[in-house]
Chain A
Amino acid sequence: AQRVTQPEKLLSVFKGAPVELKCNYSYSGSPELFWYVQYSRQRLQLLLRHISRESIKGFTADLNKGETSFHLKKPFAQEEDSAMYYCALSAQYNFNKFYFGSGTKLNVKP
């Protein structure tokens, strides 16, 4: 069975501080990993996906297959980064099955 674990429900950091949102997964094959974000009063939207290896809004995430992790990082947090972040996994052979972690609320303080 697929499982996505986000151990932190809430993460508070000061503006300008580095931030790391943790995500671990368990899956027997080679999954696709994503980070989705939900800003206040906005719809859930894709932030980044591991296959793109891109940096979006200063965020990066590296897939570590050895540690089965896909942590989201940003070197200098901004107040506008405050949002709910969900790590998500899509099954290798059933790519329409997206599973979400429990989410981490990031609060960036001024």
Chain B
Amino acid sequence: DTEVTQTPKHLVMGMTNKKSLKCEQHMGHRAMYWYKQKAKKPPELMFVYSYEKLSINESVPSRFSPECPNSSLLNLHLHALQPEDSALYLCASSQTQTGAGTGELFFGEGSRLTVL
């Protein structure tokens, strides 16, 4: 299995709702990522988990709360979002390597979020 699976594919939520985006991979990758992509813009890094620990938070507002329950799963909990948070949220994974050299990013198809 060489895929990253994201659910749901589409999500519409109000500003007072609480929802979650889910991501799963079974490639044995120990680094998992959340990216945000607005229309016609590049992916913007939000969070990185390495060995189930949060290693990078790119100053993301607290209304986005990531969680990595185990090495195969990554969640993004959403609460009190704003309409400008509407975007495609991409999950990715990669092997982790020590020292120089990096791994390939494997992306999911994304969860398209609309905040009303």
Contacts and interface: CB of A to CB of B under 8 A. Distances in A.
A46 B55 CA distance: 23
Contacts of A95: 97, 100-103
Contacts of A51: 101
Contacts of B42: 86, 100-103
A96 B96 contact: yes
Interface in B19-56: 31, 33, 41-45, 48, 50, 55-56
A98 interface: yes
A34 B103 CA distance: 10
B94 interface: yes
Interface of A: 32, 34, 36, 43-46, 49, 51, 86, 88, 90, 92, 94-103
Interface residues of B, number: 26
A98 B102 CA distance: 10
A13 to B, nearest CB: 21
29 contacts: A32-B102, A36-B105, A43-B107, A43-B108, A44-B107, A45-B106, A45-B107, A46-B104, A49-B104, A51-B101, A86-B42, A86-B43, A88-B105, A90-B102, A92-B100, A94-B56, A96-B31, A96-B56, A96-B94, A96-B96, A96-B102, A97-B48, A97-B56, A98-B102, A99-B45, A100-B42, A100-B43, A100-B44, A102-B41
